[in-house]
Structure 1
Amino acid sequence: MGQPRWTTTSDQYLTPTASDAWANEASEAGQRGSQRILDARTEPALADITAYLGAEPGVEVVMRRRLILIDDWPVEIAASYWLASLAGMTALAQPAKIPGGTPRFLAELGYHPTEVREDVTTRWATPYEQTTMAMEKPEPVLKLTRILLDHTGQPYQLDINVMRAGRHIRYVRKAG
């Protein structure tokens, strides 16, 4: 199967809405977007995760990992992390879809990103990513690391998304 190509902006994944941003984006491209939750759990964070979240190594975090599909074809593994003190007893820690999505849920808790830091790199897929995204052989992937900060400058969410090659990400920000 040829890899679908599309252009996206991350803004739509940061704005609280009543619908599924990925399903909407895929639909606009004439395809069907869906996702499957692979894992949701609370665990001691690795040092690199806590560094992004501005916390001490080993602190408990909630991790949600999802497989992103287009027309039932896996194109991305999206993992999100929050300190357990914020997310531990919420829907974020449960392996079920969150009505309206994470941005809407967090907005209802009073969390709105006032700064977003994104970094995109390339590397080869790990064996786990290769298996999970049904790659027949090792492939290069894009790794998007996104940190959301609140009005005090405190990071409250870390996203690490690993995408199959062929994706074009466009960053459009409005001066505010």
Structure 2
Amino acid sequence: MTPKAAPESPDGRPLHERIAADLREEIMSGDFEPGGSLPSTEQLKARFDASGATVQKALGILKDEGLAVGRPGSSVKVRAHRRETMHPAMYSKPAAPGDAYRWISEAENRGRAGRSTLLEVAEVVPPTDVRTALGLIEGERALLRKQILFLDDEPCELVKSYYPLELARGTAMMYKKKIRGGTPVVLAEAGYPPLRTVDKVSACIATQEQYEALQLPSDLPILRTFRVVLSNDDRVIEVTEMAKAGHLYELQYEY
């Protein structure tokens, strides 16, 4: 039997990628609820005018992304609790004395297990956008602290934080060790509490580093947050680049 030809479309992607994109959006919007079944292969064949093999390739993409689960011959279900809403405003304040890093404590408040792995601490020449935000001259160095954040042992976010060396030198920030409560505690104790945060959020294709760190299954976009943290007299005390898997996380801001 000759496979059915895919209908012509102004969308140049292969049909199975287009089917996966439409189903992904419906999963993320809640049209298909976590734990519920996706339409059967026959229903999807009719809806998209596609062959069974094309439908299975589309479902395979969603399984690889962790959005769906199922075996051949059984119904494919939406994997429960896959879309996480993050609230950036909750994470920027210093933790209370003796408390864990606020990102971890907030994860625990939502019933999730949060942890971090510190990858690198080094004096580096930062990228141009970071250098500009920090007010550094070309070639001037800043302190980089790079880490991966995990939720329930799955990589959630790759974080690169840059600090002016004149604020970091002589503090625990200079060493490749975790800091109880995070760097906001150290900065606040030094007289530079975080008072205002400015975020710029964009969707980007992952770099090789982000792709590997976040264990992305395919060429999906990431959410990139470029954060500038200011203290007294609007002094910039931190610039951070955060990358999250775009199909698993969303950001919620309240005004």
**TM-score between the two structures when normalised by the length of structure 2:** 0.64
Q: Separation in 1 of the partners of 2:216 and 2:254?
A: 31
Alpha-carbon distance in structure 1 between the residues aligned to 2:89 and 2:174: 24
Q: Secondary structure at the match of 2:191?
A: coil
Tell me if the contact between 2:214 and 2:244 (Cα under 8 Å) persists in the aligned partners: no
Name the residue aligned to 1:135: 216
Is residue 164 from structure 1 mapped to residue 245 from structure 2 by the alignment?
yes
Tell me how far 1:62 sits from its aligned partner. 0.3
Please give the alpha-carbon distance, in whole angstroms, between the structure 2 residues aligned to 1:79 and 1:150. Answer: 19
Whichever structure has more strand as a proportion of its residues is: 1
The percent of aligned pairs where both chains have the same amino acid is 26
- The C-alpha deviation readout for 1:11-50, integer Å capped at 9, x for no partner, is 2222111222222222233221111011110122332221
Deviation at 1:162, TM superposition (A): 0.4
1:10 counterpart = 2:88:
yes
The answer to whether the aligner puts 1:104 opposite 2:185 as a matched pair is yes
Query: C-alpha separation between the residues in 1 aligned to 2:185 and 2:214?
Result: 27
Give the counterpart of 2:170 among 85, 89, 92.
89
TM-superposed CA distance for 1:63, in Å, is 0.3
Report if the CA contact (8 A) 2:184-2:194 is conserved: no
Do 1:149 and 1:157's aligned partners in 2 also have CA atoms closer than 8 Å? Answer: yes
More helix by share: 2
Deviation at 1:163, TM superposition (A): 0.6
Give the structure, 1 or 2, with the largest relative contact order (CA under 8 Å, sep 6 or more): 1
Unaligned ranges ≥5, structure 2: 1-65, 68-80
In terms of Rg, which structure is larger?
2
| Alpha-carbon distance between aligned partners in 1 of 2:182 and 2:228, rounded to the nearest angstrom | 17
Q: 1:148: Cα distance to partner?
A: 0.9
Length, aligned pairs only: 173
Distance 1:9 1:104 in 2: 20
Q: Following TM superposition, by how much is the alpha carbon of 1:161 offset from its aligned partner in structure 2, in angstroms?
A: 0.4
CA–CA distance in structure 1, aligned partners of residues 82 and 118 of structure 2:
22
> In 2, Cα distance between the equivalents of 1:145 and 1:100?
21
SS in 2 for 1:152: helix
Find out whether 1:154 has 2:235 as its counterpart: yes
Q: Which runs of 5+ in 1 are unaligned?
A: none
